[in-house]
Structures are given as C-alpha cells and as structure tokens.
Amino acid sequence: MIRAIIIDDETHCIKRLSILLNDVCSNEVHLMGGFQSVETGLEGIKKLQPDLVFLDVQIHDKTGFDLLRQLNEIKFDVIFTTAFEKYAVQAFKFSAFEYLLKPIDADDLKQAIEKLHEKISKEESVKKFDTLFHNLQNLQNASKRINVPTINGLVFLLVNDIIRCESDVNYTNIFLKDKTKLFVAKTLKEFEELLGEYNFYRVHNSHLINLAYIKSYSKGKGGYVTMIDNTEIEVSTRRKDDFLKALAK
Amino acid sequence: MKKILLQLFFIHLIVTVNAQQKEIDSLETLLARHTVADTVRFQLLYKLAFNYADYDPDKGLIKAAEALQLAKQLKDTVRTGQALTTQGLNYHSLGNDSLTMACYESALQLFKKVNNKKGIASVYNNMGIVWFYKSDYNQAMANRKKALKIFEELHDTARIATMYCNISLDYQYLSDYAQSVNYLFQALKLYESIGNKKGIANTYKNLGIQYRKLSKLPEALAYHNKALEFFRQTDQTISVAEQLANIANVYDDMSSTTTALQYYHEALTLNQSINNKRGIASNFINMGMVYSQIKEYDTAFICIEKSIPLFEESGDKNSLAIALNKKGVLINEAPDGILIKQGIAPPQRYHKSIESLNRGIQLAVEIEAIDVQASLLASLSGVYESKKDFAKALEAYKKFTLLQDSILNDATAEKITQDKLQYEFDKKEAATKAENEKKVALATEEIKRERVIKNSSIFGGSILLLSAFISFVFYKRRRDAVAQKVETDFKLQVSDTEMKALRSQMNPHFIFNSLNSISDYISRNDIKAADNYLAKFAKVMRMILENSDLKEVTLADDLKALELYIQLESLRMEHKFSYEIIVDAGIDKDNTLVPPLMLQPFVENSIWHGISKKQGGGKIAIHIRKEGDMINCIIEDNGIGREKSKQEKSAVSNNEKKSLGMKITRARIDILNKLKKSKAAVELFDLAEGLRVEVKLPLQLSF
C-alpha cells in the first residue's frame, strides 16, 4: 500500500483527486490527508512520513518547489500536479519527473501510479531532484541538465555536453562531447521538443544537432555541417533556408 | 704599405637632390622671394640646409635653425624631425659629433612618436655614419641594419641598395672583405635594376677601394675612373676630390709616385676650397706617406703633423691610428737633422717612435681595426729591429703575422672571386633572357598585329552591342524581380496575418462546440462519468490548442488530436459509431506537414449532422491518400446526408455554427494557395448514404 498525501491550495482539487484515487486505485493508494499551504504541507510530511506526495506547483504565492527545497532529505516519491505552468512542465520533462495536468484524467493517474513501481535507486532519486532544482534555477541557459532513460537506468546529462542526436527507429543515439554515445529509449522527436529551445536544430529527419558545436557548414543542395567531433551531418534540402536563418541568430 | 683612404659616403637619406652650387643659388633666390612662414618656406630652408652641409655647414646650420623654428611654429612633428636631421647633418660636417648625435636622437624620438618609418630609418642611417666616422664600425653597422630592415619593409629599392653599400663599408673597415664585396655586388645589382647612376658610381668607387685592398690594381683604377667620370659630370666637388685621392692611392701602390702626388694635390685644393676637413686630413696623411717614401722628410713631417690634429678633432680614430703609424715610422727613418727640426732629440728617436706606434695600436685595438693594427705592428717590429731589440721585434712581428693571416686567408680571397663570378653570370643570363624574349615577342607581335587590327574592329563592335543588349535585359529582369519580390513579400505578410487570425478563430469555434458536447453528455449521464468525460476533454482541448498555435504540424500530430476528438465524441454518443483512420503506406506521417485542424470541422459536421441524427450505428472513415504532389484527405460518413440534414434543421439554430468552421477552413485554403502557390481545395460529394468530403492539401515534407 502506498501512503499518500495531497498538497494543493484549492479544496476542490484535493477533493477531486481524492475521489479519483478512490475510484481508480483504492487498493493501491492509501490517502492520509490533504494540506492547503506549504507550511502545513511540510508539517504533514514530517508527521505522516508519506511514500507519495501529490504536489501542486502553484500554492498561494509559493510553489511546490519551495516546499521541497526546505527538506533536508526527500524520502518520498513526488507526482506534480498543475493546470498550465509551461515552465514547470518543461522542467518535469527534463528531469524525468511524473506530472499530471489538471483536470486530472483517470487514465493518466492510473499510469502515473503504475510507474511508481519502477523503483529507482536512492542516488538516482537524489540526482533527479538535483536536476529539477538546477533546471528551475537555470530556466533559460544552456547549462540545463537533462535526465535520459538508458538500458542502464537514468543518466544525467548537461545539455551543453550534447553534440548531436541521431534517430534509430524509436530510439535515439546521443553523441556527447567526451566522445561517448548513449542509446536512449526516446524518439528523436521527443528530444527535438525538449531541446529545440536550447540552441538545438533538427537539420534532418534523423539528426538533431547542437548549433553551438558546428565547426563548419559546406554548401551543397542542402549542404552538410561538420561538427566539432568531425562527424559530417547532412542538412535536408527543405531545412536549408530555415537552418541558415537559425544559424544567423 | 697601407694607405689611408676616405670613402665619404654622403648619401644622406633625407632628400635626394643633387648637391649643386647652382641649386643652392636658385634655392636662395626662391627663399628671398617666399617670406611667408609656411610649409613651402620650410621646404626651401630644409633643402638649403641639406645642400649646405657639403659646402658650407655654418650657413647650413643657420638655415636648419630657421627650418626648425618654423616647423615648431607649424606644430609639425615630421618636419621638426626633418629639420633636426639636417641640423645634425651640418654639425656632422663641422665634425661636432656630440651635437650631431643630440640632433639625431631628438629627431628619432619625434619620428617614432608619429611612426614615420622613413624618418626613423633615415636617422638610423645618419647615426650609422656618425659612428662610422668615430670608427665604431659595429655600432655603425647595427644602426644601418636597423635602417635596412625598415627600408626592406617599405620596399624602397634605392635605399636598400644604399644600405648595402654602407654596410659593405662597415665590413670593409672590420676587415671582412668577403662580406664587404658581397654587399657591394648586391647593391650594384639593385642600382642597375633601377638605373640609379649615382648609386652605380658610388658602388664602383667602393669596388675600386676593395680591389685595391686585394692588390688588383688595374681593376681598382678602372672602377675609380668610372666613378670619377660620373662625379665630375654631376659637379659633386666632395666626391670628385675623394675620387682623385683614391686614384692617387692606386698610383702610389703602382709606384707611380709623381702621378700620385699630382692627384693628391688636386684633391687637396678641391677639399680646401670647400673646407672639407676630413678630406684635407686624408690628403695630408696620404701625401705625407708618399713624401716619406721619396725621402722628402721635411714635407712628409709637415703633412702628417697637419693631419693629426684634424683627425683628433673629428674623432676619426682609424685615420688617427694610421697617421700615428706613419709618424712613428717617419721618426724612425728620418735623418737626425730633420728630427731636430721637428723638436725631437736624436737619442729620443726610438722612444718617440715607439710611443707614437703604441698609441696607434691602442686606438686600433679600441676600434677593432685589424688591418691598421697589423700595419702598426709591422712598423713596430721594424723600429725594434732598428733599435736592435730583436726579441721585441720578433714578438711584434709574430703578432703582425697572426693578424695578417686572419685578414687575408685563402678562403676569403676565394669567396670574393666566387661572388664576382656569380654576379657576372647572373647579369649575363638576365641580359640574354631579356634579349631573347624581346626578339620573340617582337616577331609574334608583328604577325598578330595585322590580324588583330582587322578582327578587333568587327569583334569589338559586336561585343559592345551585344553587351549593351544583355545588360539591358539583365537590368530589366532584375528591376522587375525586385519589384515583384517587394510585392510578394507584402502579400505573404498579409496572408500570414490573415491565416493566423483564422486559426485563432478556430479556437472559440472548437471551445464552444466542445462545451455543447459536454453539456449534452452531462445532461444524460451521472456525475462521475461526466467528470471523467470532462477530464478527457480537457486533454483533447489542450492538444488542439497547442497545435492551433503552429502554422504547420506533422500529419501524425494532427491525426492524433483528431482521433482523440473522435474518441471523445464516440464516448458521448455511447459508441453509436465506429471510426477508422487509414494512412497510405506511401505517406510518412512524421515527415508530412499539414496546417493544423483542417479536418476537424468536417469530422465534427459528419458526427453532429450526419450520424447523430441517424437511426442505428454509423461509421466514419478517414483515408489519407497521396495523389501526385498533393495529399487527399477523404472523410466519409454514412449519416443522413446533406439534403435530409438541411430539412431537419431548417428550424434549428446551430446551422450557423456548422457553416462557421467550414467557412473558416475554406478561407484558410484560399490563403494557403496564395502562400504556397498550390491548388488546395475542398470538395463535397453526396453519397447514396451519407457524405464524402475531400480535402486536398499540398504535400509538404518537413525534411
């Protein structure tokens, strides 16, 4: 049985989620309480020692992240809940955190609970939170970190260390600055969505490159770019103009 | 016997005007007329000061001082530097080295301040000349090499050549004849390449000196005569006097004493007429040597004694050492009577002689003049021999041999020959090559000429016409293209805005239709089911809103949103209809771009107006096909069809809404066609049962 609490500043959200939990997974999750502020939430966590916290992002004038930062050690799983905070969703995706969008869909909730069974090690968990906090502090710059799922578990990367990504059907190979390669269970499209804002550009159906690591561009029909690791990446003809525009920025 | 020779190398580098009395006169006239204190007057003063340096340094100094004052008045740094340089030059002619150097140092500072390279190099060279006359040949060479480097940077051939000459002179005085000759031949080559006669003459002069040193007297005489001839033509008194002295030196070597003395006297007269102290001193010492040779000791003593203070005054240690050598020898050789006339008691003969020679040796060592030192040592050995002090005589002689060897070993002689051969070979080869090329070119040219004249007039004419025509065509085309591009850009911008507006209109349309669905669902179901439905709807709405923000989305994304929407509607209608979405194998969903939400209004229409009103189960089939460079999106339902639908809802209000989504979509397609120059279209076909909509969109790939 998973012992859970909800921290959310709106009563109707707490009520709705508790009803949903009762309907969807009453035999898996035991809800111990709901708290409507960061302060009461912290007390609740200390008193009840839950396994799982459903944590709202915006809690009055504070955030769920503020709450987490005040804890010395995070010994529970967190599922974030939010209605629209785009920046937060972005941060969750980067750090491989579970999150639910409100109004919460029952199927999504079920899935999220199921994923909790895939237990991760304590160190991994600590790193996950580190990544989250780091990214929240560095919302716009390229020193962002990203957690990617590989066969050997989560790997924590600096966005800055990625030279390029190459698709391999539904997987992606990530080529890093230190000349290592990671085989990741995510599509190139997902990476494009994640990294597009951080100076990455998809020059080809199979290639997403970090614009910061281009050594040279050779003209041609679409042309090709040479990356700093001397790999040559073809640029799709249709992408050429847009790519050159992106380069000029 | 070594003789002194003075190669006055007055190519001072500031101005290249020939120092002529005539020029001085005309400059003075101009100066008298031009009294305005401006740059023109400065230029006149400056040229005069420069020219006076060789003729009348006292006058030169007056002009230089005025030039300096004027330059300062004009606040002109470069000209101030130039004035200081000529001032130094005149001081130099007067033999005042410390004032000379002070002037040059100040000039150098100024030129460096404004980075005037030519000025810097000139001053370095002039400083080199001062050091040279102070017999510090290493310092002289260091300065001239600095100047050479700058001139090489400036690609100033004439001055590079001058530097070669001057450096050659330094090497000569350092007794490195091989290097000296080497530099001279390099200089000669450069002068000949630019046809600089004065340079050629100066180089001839120096070659003459070198060959004399190597005891090749006929060659030496030939070179000197060539130089003399030139200098006479250009009326350069100082150089003429110098050549006369040099020729005298050679005749002396050839033992033609009388001829030598004639030349010396001629030179002396010229030097005295222009008060050239260095020249005078040089002539005196040389004459002294000749007179002592022919045993006219009285005259010899007079000459030498006259030269010594002049050398002391000018600080020319090399010449002074030579004079002291001669004096020592003379004292040793002269009969008692002559000595007494000179105020030397005969018993003092050896002492005085050795004293003079030792002073000479000391100077020669100081200035590293090996040949002078050797010569002095030979003399010293001779004096000791006369004194019967054989041990000391031998010691001096040994030192002499050692030095002599280092000056003229075989290798040195060989290298000189080599350099000469190399030069002559190069010269001949270049001449032959040029000659041949000229001949060939002339012959070819003659043949070509006739043909070219005939052809070129026809050809040129047609080319001119053609190019005028072509440029007009290009100009017109370009002008049109530019105009068109401006127009197109504007249209595109307008269309883009319109498109955005339309897309955003889709949102309220979708939202309100969705609220209709939700309200319809809630009215028929329990709270829990309604809540579940609502959550799902929120999800679909999120996705559709996100897509509508973009100009284009992938077909995969658009179909995913569409499918979620259909599922939701299916849920609402309690699975009253089934659906299928088929995409042809020839289409890569992830790589195909479509405008978002083009199909949704038609699907919505099929569900609300086709199927919902039908008795029994319905079906919606969506089929995406590739047709050439278009994709055809076919939406087929088996609902009640358009006719029936119209009749049924003629009284119903939501007719308006239905047409809104379709209207917006049609407008979007029109603009799309404008933007992409495509032939997108929407066509509706009534089926026996239901409706078939075909939305044809241009096939766009993202990669």
Give the pair of three-digit tokens for residue A132: 């989250």
- Mean pLDDT, rounded, of chain B: 83
ipTM of the complex: 0.78
For residue A219, what pLDDT band results from cuts at 50, 70 and 90?
A: confident
Which of B538, B590, B703 is opposite residue A238, by nearest beta carbon?
A: B703
Q: What is the mean pLDDT of residues A28-39?
A: 93
Instruction: Give the global pTM.
Output: 0.47
Which of A79-88, B360-369, B489-498 has the least mean pLDDT? B489-498
CB B557, CB B547: distance < 8 Å: yes
Residues of chain B positioned with their CB less than 8 A from the CB of A101? 538-539, 542
A172 with A149: CB under 8 angstroms?
Answer: no
| Model confidence at B652: pLDDT above 50 | no
Q: Tell me the pLDDT tens digit for each residue of B149-206.
A: 998 888 888 888 888 888 888 888 887 777 888 888 888 888 888 888 888 888 888 8
Minimal Cα–Cα distance from A58 to chain B, Å?
Answer: 19
Least confident of A194-203, B406-415, B627-636: B406-415
* The dihedral formed by the CA atoms of A212, A214, A215 and A220, expressed in degrees to the nearest 10: -150
Whether pLDDT at B415 is above 50:
yes
Which residues of A fall within a CB distance of 8 Å from B539? 101, 105, 108
The residue count for chain B: 703
Quick one: pLDDT at residue A49?
94
Question: Which backbone phi and psi does B544 adopt, to 5 degrees?
Answer: -70, -40
- Per the CB < 8 A criterion, the answer to whether B336 and B355 are in contact is no
Q: In what order do the strands lie in the sheet with A232-234?
A: A214-218, A224-227, A232-234
How many Å apart are CA A52 and CA A112, to the nearest integer? 11
Q: Is the pLDDT of residue A142 over 60?
A: no
CB pairs A-B closer than 8 Å: 32
Q: What is the pLDDT of residue B235?
A: 72
pLDDT at A204: 92
Residue A72's pLDDT is 87
| pLDDT-wise least confident of A160-174, A182-196, B659-673 | B659-673
Structure confidence at residue B17 as a pLDDT band (50, 70, 90): very low
DSSP code for A104: P
pLDDT for the residue B14: 35
pLDDT, one tens digit per residue, over B564-595 is: 999 988 888 888 899 999 999 989 998 899 99
Cis amide prior to B596 (ω within 30 degrees): no
Residue entry with tokens 């059907």: A169
Tokens 């076919």 found at: B634
Q: Report the pLDDT value the prediction gives residue B424, as an integer from 0 to 100.
A: 65
The region of weakest confidence among A148-157, B405-414, B623-632 is B405-414
Is the pLDDT at B506 greater than 80? The verdict is no
| Residue B635 pLDDT exceeds 90 | yes
Instruction: Of B134-138, B194-198, B688-692, give the range with the top mean pLDDT.
Output: B688-692
Which amino acid is present at A178?
A: D
Mean pLDDT value of segment B22-33: 83
Residue pair B170/B125 in contact by the 8 Å Cβ criterion: no
B58 has pLDDT over 80: yes
Smallest Cα distance from A19 to chain B, Å: 9
Q: Choose among B282, B272, B290, B331: nearest CA to B306.
A: B282
Q: How far is B448 from chain A (nearest CA, A)?
A: 44
Closest by Cα among A15, A107, A19 to B528:
A19
Average pLDDT of chain A, as a whole number: 88
- Please tell me the distance in Å from B651's CA to the nearest CA on chain A: 37
Mean pLDDT of B673-687: 87
Interface test with B, best of A85, A193, A238 (most B CBs within 10 A): A238
- As a whole number, mean pLDDT of residues B236-248 equals 87
Q: Do B531 and A16 touch (CB under 8 A)?
A: yes
More confident residue, B19 or A197: A197
B623: exposed, middle or buried (C-beta count within 10 Å: 0-12, 13-18, 19+)?
middle
